[in-house]
Amino acid sequence: MRKHLFMLAAIAALSAKAQDPAISSWIINPGNETGYAGIATNVLSVHYTASDVYVTSTCIPGYDIGPWAGNPNTPANQDFCFRITRAPQPNTGNLIATALGHIGVWRNGVSIFNAKDGMSYNNQGIWNRDALVWEGSSFDVCLGHPAPNGEYHHHVSPNCLYDHLNDEAHSDLIGFAFDGYPIYGAYGFMNADGSGGITRMRSSYQLRSISARTSLPDGTVLNAGQYGPAIGGQYPLGAYIEDYEYVAGSGDLDVHNGRFCVTPEYPAGVYAYFVTLTDQLAPAYPYVIGPTYYGTVPGGNTGPGSGHNTIPGNAVLYVPGTTSISEPEPMLIDAYPVPTASLVNLRSSGAAIASLELIDAQGRCVLSAAPLSTATVIDLSALSSGIYSVRTVLSEGMTSSFRIVRQ
């Protein structure tokens, strides 16, 4: 009986994939809406294949933007086509830094930038300026501004895109990072398993206790020619990215500014980034995504001249308001016995299981494997009793998430 109940739960999780948030969460222009300078607003189209979603946009939002005090740049149509993977993969190798320029896209097609403004002290690339501190006066009421190429973007919480004051409900899904993982507003469930009410997600980055800028957060001691400016006056603590350090456990989120958790769109759990705010609801570093991505980053979206992917000829156009999204038949993953004190057998009825992760109640990955087989075994004997989420990626690109119980 438990086996059959588990199979039903797995089917439910896979069926929910037919309404993949990576496809259906976008704010799509019905065809006649324009905004700044008469440019079409929001997302212009969404196409999808079994593995990717293609989002086209002008990078102009549907809400009013401007003015930008002291910023001579003017927003312009960017004619973007971003590609979002439908099977994001955690990065198990060297961490991938969030580069300058777009690192993700909000659900209205507007670019997300990292915390830097592109400038550094003495142009050495060691002490990198925090965009909120150095450029914040040029942000409009929605906390965005245009880059020199006309790309309107946000370094911090896009306050006109969602209700950042609503602390009574889980925040909306408001975008996707270019590693394919979703981004939410500032509020989530208190516990990673979806229980405990609503709370503001707290960053685990803190200002360092330093009196001089002579070392980096990782402990690197600099030579005198690499020192940053004296702290104070024009250069207060927090003026540079390197003024912050990650303190594990001091907040709700990890070094990437996210966690594995249940969300309204992903009831079986997903790794998700969160916008972070202070107690006064001002932007809190690292603002959106941390200095590095959680997942691997497919090509085409980052770097100079990026964001102009080609939509494949076999891609399907998503039409808002449709009741379903055409998908291949879901693959059933059978798991038994559940609950268990040691071994759990996983078996796919179709495609091979390319990779799997086991996530504990605190959102930590406690086991990962790449079986490349239709059948594999998970050994839970070294783990504590409790509920664990299993996230699998099949060789055909589909994903499934479900839970197992360690007795």
Lowest-confidence region among 87-96, 124-133, 220-229, 358-367: 358-367
Contacts of 140 (CB under 8 A, 6+ apart): 65, 66, 67, 68
- Quick one: pLDDT band at residue 153, thresholds 50, 70, 90? very high
For residue 67, whether the previous peptide bond is cis, meaning omega lies within 30 degrees of 0, is: yes
pLDDT in tens, 20-47: 999 999 999 988 899 999 999 999 999 9
How many angstroms separate the CA atoms of 267 and 276, rounded?
Answer: 22
> What pLDDT, on a 0 to 100 scale, did the predictor assign at position 198?
97
pLDDT at position 395 = 76
Tokens matching residue 321 = 């308001």
In this prediction, residue 303 carries a pLDDT of 86
Mean pLDDT of 105-132: 97
Q: Which of 117-121, 381-385, 398-402 has the lowest mean pLDDT?
A: 398-402
Residue 227: what pLDDT? 97
Residue 280 reports pLDDT greater than 50: yes
Question: What is the chain's length?
Answer: 407
Res 380 pLDDT > 60: yes
Q: Which of 108-122, 170-184, 296-310 bottoms out in mean pLDDT, i.e. has the lowest?
A: 296-310
Q: Is pLDDT above 70 for 284?
A: yes
- Cβ neighbours for 379, distance < 8 A, ≥ 6 positions apart: 342, 343
Given this model, what pLDDT does residue 323 score?
41
Least confident of 53-57, 139-143, 344-348: 344-348
Across 279-364, the runs of DSSP E, i.e. the strands, are 316-317, 333-336, 343-348, 353-359
Q: What is the pLDDT of residue 332?
A: 62
Q: Is the pLDDT of residue 14 over 60?
A: no
- Region 156-168: mean pLDDT is 94
| Residue 113 scores a pLDDT above 90 | yes
pLDDT given for residue 119 in this prediction: 96
CA angle 286/292/294 to nearest 5° reads 110
Residue range 366-376: mean pLDDT, rounded: 87
Task: Round to whole Å and give the CA distance between 383 and 395.
Answer: 27
Domains and CATH numbers, the chain: 2-8+328-406 (2.60.40.3080), 21-326 (no CATH)
Q: How many CB atoms lie within 10 A of CB 230?
A: 11
Average pLDDT taken over every residue of the chain:
89
Query: Confidence class of residue 403 from pLDDT cuts 50, 70 and 90?
Result: confident
Round to whole Å and give the CA distance between 113 and 111.
6
CA 345 to chain centre: 31
pLDDT attached to residue 162: 94
Q: What is the pLDDT of residues 301-343, one digit of tens each?
A: 998 889 999 999 999 999 887 544 544 444 467 787 877 888 8
Q: Residues 124-128: what's their mean pLDDT?
A: 97
- 3-state SS track over 189-225: ECCCCCCCCEEECCCCEEECCCCCCCECCCCCECCHH
Start-to-end CA distance of the chain, whole Å, equals 17
User: Do the beta carbons of residue 171 and residue 213 sit within 8 Å?
Assistant: no
Instruction: Please report which confidence band the pLDDT of residue 362 belongs to, taking 50, 70 and 90 as the band edges.
Output: low
Please report which confidence band the pLDDT of residue 373 belongs to, taking 50, 70 and 90 as the band edges: confident
pLDDT of residue 18: 41
What is the Cα–Cα distance from 153 to 112, expressed in whole angstroms? 6
